Amino acid sequence: MSAPADLAGAGDEWWRSAVVYQVYPRSFADSDGDGIGDLNGITGHLDHLAGLGIDVIWLSPVYPSPQDDNGYDISDYRDIEPTFGTLADFDRLLTGVHERGMKLVMDLVVNHTSDEHPWFVESRSSGDNPKRDWYWWRPPRDGGVAGRSGGEPTNWESFFSGPAWEYDDQTGEYYLHLFTRKQPDLNWENPQVRRAVYDVMTWWLDRGVDGFRMDVINMISKDLRAGALPDGIARDGRVLGDGAPHYTDGPRVHEFMAEMHREVFAPRGSTYLRVAETPGVTTDHAVLYTDPERGEVDMVFQFEHVNIDHGVTKWDVAPLDLVALKASMDRWQRALATTGWNSLYWDNHDQPRVVSRFGDDGRFRVESAKLLATVLHLHRGTPYVYQGEELAMANVGYTSIDQLRDVESLNFFAHAVAEGADPEQVMAGIRAMGRDNARTPMQWDASQHAGFTTGSPWIEANPDHVEVNAAAQVDDPASVYHHYRRLIALRHDDPVVVHGDFTMLAPEHPALYAFTRTLEGVTLLVVANFSRAELALDHADLPDLADAPLVLGNYDSEVEPGTALRPWEARVLRSASSGSAVPSAS
Ligand code: NOJ
């Protein structure tokens, strides 16, 4: 198969050396005092992002939405949520982004709509409405009683607790919602649905956006090969089962993605950024999604490394097993080494804060945040920074369900407690894993509500903002913010960071994360100490460090080559044998 004409030059697309910054608009900056972030708030802070050196902003959804899932439930794909602003505000934001040499990528949420989207309102209105088949409507299962537990067409559990089917007594059928009941799944089997989605995408590209982050896009093809949607396996005698094998990377998903490419991107002259969010994706499918010759998308968000500390569910938190984390990262680096591309992330709006999760947010907050950034950004792939990650924003330490706003945490708490779980135990899971940890207001300064709003914030700011905030860090060259800035500059300046081969070293070491990147005789060596104890650099796997100059480190003080790593210390060294100059990272 030869590369589609528009993909000529695959290998040096702009997004390979880019760093993406995710903005969660609700929590970024509130310009009008209503307590909710908005587009003008983002426009007012673009210099913070430009100063960091990032190339792309990914905007979480800003479309009209009942906000059941904070905008991931869209009721109009061609407008802006009024609490966030207007299309004119959006155009101003886009101009401001482009004027600063950055790009803007929209969130595309088309596995499902809001139940308040006119498509669904029509679809639900009668069994023979022309849009009926735009969603997944099914009668009760054989022998099941409509509207009663067990009557659902399949036993699938929704991601947000409870069955994935909602009974609608207007027509006596159920509709499928993998997420909340206000997020009905679109039926991608219907070509009219696909056409409507492609039209929406084209509309935004015509407006000037630079690509899309595609929400749970590997769930759009449900498995109909058995004729009907199959039940999932239920563990421990539970009634609800796991439907994921029947809608993850389903039978027609690659066909749909190829069609999307053909219909939306191929006719256009530019190279866009297309990143697919793909929970549960395998490396084999990831290669298919990201193979430039197939043209489906440019990179995927895989989840293996952020599931590493989960037990049976995400709420059963296990301590970080560094050996397992390295094995996972290494597996993905190798799987996409010759074909495809990785995206690299620790944080996003669905994950707890990485400095609390894999780092040490107490005494070594600064060092461990810089270490985590160093390790991630030196892998091969496109790094993503989630708002506040560049400040080492941390988890909140939630103690009461009243502090939370996220539908996932609220539903989980209600269901688990109703089933008899100990509320304290349930809160422990939410404290560690709850998505609201990532959704507290961006910490701009030490003032009330962290400078996020002059009003009353929709969710409380983390009290630690008095110390951890942008104002303090932008003026401090030793801050986490400036460390991110240096890492981003290093990627822009040094082709080894972008294109170099990746080799994991000392994979079995419980505290040392070490790897090399090599390109045309140049080697970068990254060594990082994931612990509070000093760590001697005498592991047999490590190359001789005696003469290797330091490119970047996370401690202020000078370091003697080859000396033991201090607590949470990370060093990036350039192999002396290369003879190349150390790139400027300041
Ligand atoms: C993934 C998004 O990142 C998450 O925030 C959302 O709840 C689900 N998809 C449903 O859209």
Query: What is the pLDDT at residue 334?
Result: 98
Ligand 1 centroid to residue 72 C-alpha, Å: 6
- DSSP secondary structure code for residue 61 in this structure: P
Residue for token pair 């913010």: 481
Ligand 1 centroid to residue 71 C-alpha, Å: 9
3-class DSSP assignment, residue 155: coil
Query: Does the pLDDT of residue 223 top 90, yes or no?
Result: yes
Amino acid (one-letter) located at 375: V
Cβ(501)–Cβ(517) under 8 Å?
Answer: yes
User: Does the reported pTM lie above 0.85?
Assistant: yes
The 10s digit of each residue's pLDDT in 171-206 is 999 999 999 999 999 999 999 999 999 999 999 999
Q: What is the rounded average pLDDT of the residues 249-261?
A: 98
Q: What is the rounded average pLDDT of the residues 564-581?
A: 79
Choose the catalytic residue: 81, 89, 168, 277: 277
Q: For residues 165 and 8, what is the distance between their CA atoms, to the nearest angstrom? A: 44
The 10s digit of each residue's pLDDT in 316-373 is 999 999 999 999 999 999 999 999 999 999 999 999 999 999 999 999 999 999 999 9
**Ligand 1 probe mutation, 58, 159, 215, most atoms within 8 A of CB:** 215
DSSP output for 490-530: HHHH-HHHHH-EEEEE-TT-SSEEEEEEEETTEEEEEEEE-
Query: What is the pLDDT at residue 376?
Result: 99
Query: What is the pLDDT at residue 144?
Result: 93
- To the nearest whole percent, how much of the chain has pLDDT over 90? 92
**Ligand 1 probe mutation, 177, 179, 411, most atoms within 8 A of CB:** 179
Q: How many CA atoms lie within 13 A of 218 on its CB side?
A: 23
What are the Cα distances from residue 198, in Å, to 110, 136, 201? 10, 20, 5
Residue nearest to atom 2 of ligand 1 (CA): 215
Residue nearest to atom 8 of ligand 1 (CA): 72
Query: Among the atoms of ligand 1, which is closest to the Cα of residue 348?
Result: 3
The 10s digit of each residue's pLDDT in 30-65 is 999 999 999 999 999 999 999 999 999 999 999 999
Query: What is the pLDDT at residue 576?
Result: 55
215 noted as active-site residue: yes
Query: Among the atoms of ligand 1, which is closest to the Cα of residue 112?
Result: 11
Residue nearest to atom 11 of ligand 1 (CA): 72
Q: For residues 258 and 122, what is the distance between their CA atoms, to the nearest angstrom? A: 29
Ligand 1 centroid to residue 328 C-alpha, Å: 23
What are the Cα distances from residue 512, in Å, to 515, 526, 567, 568? 10, 10, 11, 10
DSSP output for 172-185: TEEEE-SS-TTSPB
Q: What is the rounded average pLDDT of the residues 204-225?
A: 98
Choose the catalytic residue: 73, 166, 215, 494: 215
- Joined together, the tokens standing for residue 505 give 């070293």
Query: What is the pLDDT at residue 567?
Result: 98
Ligand 1 centroid to residue 258 C-alpha, Å: 23
Indicate if the alpha-carbon torsion angle 202, 247, 124, 407 is positive or negative. negative
Ligand 1 centroid to residue 69 C-alpha, Å: 8
Cβ(488)–Cβ(19) under 8 Å?
Answer: yes
Q: For residues 517 and 499, what is the distance between their CA atoms, to the nearest angstrom? A: 8
- Joined together, the tokens standing for residue 279 give 């929970």
Q: For residues 155 and 177, what is the distance between their CA atoms, to the nearest angstrom? A: 12
**Ligand 1 probe mutation, 74, 109, 345, most atoms within 8 A of CB:** 109
The 10s digit of each residue's pLDDT in 134-161 is 999 999 999 999 999 999 999 999 999 9
The 10s digit of each residue's pLDDT in 445-475 is 999 999 999 999 999 999 999 999 999 999 9
Task: Name residues whose C-beta falls within 8 Å of residue 559's C-beta, 6 or more positions apart in sequence.
Answer: 550, 553, 571
277 noted as active-site residue: yes
Query: What is the pLDDT at residue 38?
Result: 99
Question: How high is the mean pLDDT of the chain?
Answer: 95
**Ligand 1 probe mutation, 107, 180, 216, most atoms within 8 A of CB:** 216
Task: Name residues whose C-beta falls within 8 Å of residue 560's C-beta, 6 or more positions apart in sequence.
Answer: none
Ligand 1 centroid to residue 554 C-alpha, Å: 33
Confidence class for position 237, pLDDT limits 50, 70, 90: confident
DSSP output for 202-218: HHHHHHT--EEEETTGG
Ligand 1 centroid to residue 26 C-alpha, Å: 14
> Within 6 Å (CB) of ligand 1, which residues are found?
69, 72, 109, 179, 215-216, 277, 349-350
Query: Among the atoms of ligand 1, which is closest to the Cα of residue 279?
Result: 1
Query: What is the pLDDT at residue 584?
Result: 34
Query: Does the pLDDT of residue 5 top 90, yes or no?
Result: no
Ligand 1 centroid to residue 296 C-alpha, Å: 21
Query: Does the pLDDT of residue 577 top 60, yes or no?
Result: no
Query: What is the pLDDT at residue 559?
Result: 82
Query: Among the atoms of ligand 1, which is closest to the Cα of residue 349?
Result: 5
The 10s digit of each residue's pLDDT in 531-556 is 999 999 988 999 886 678 999 999 98
Beta bridge partners of 524: 517, 574
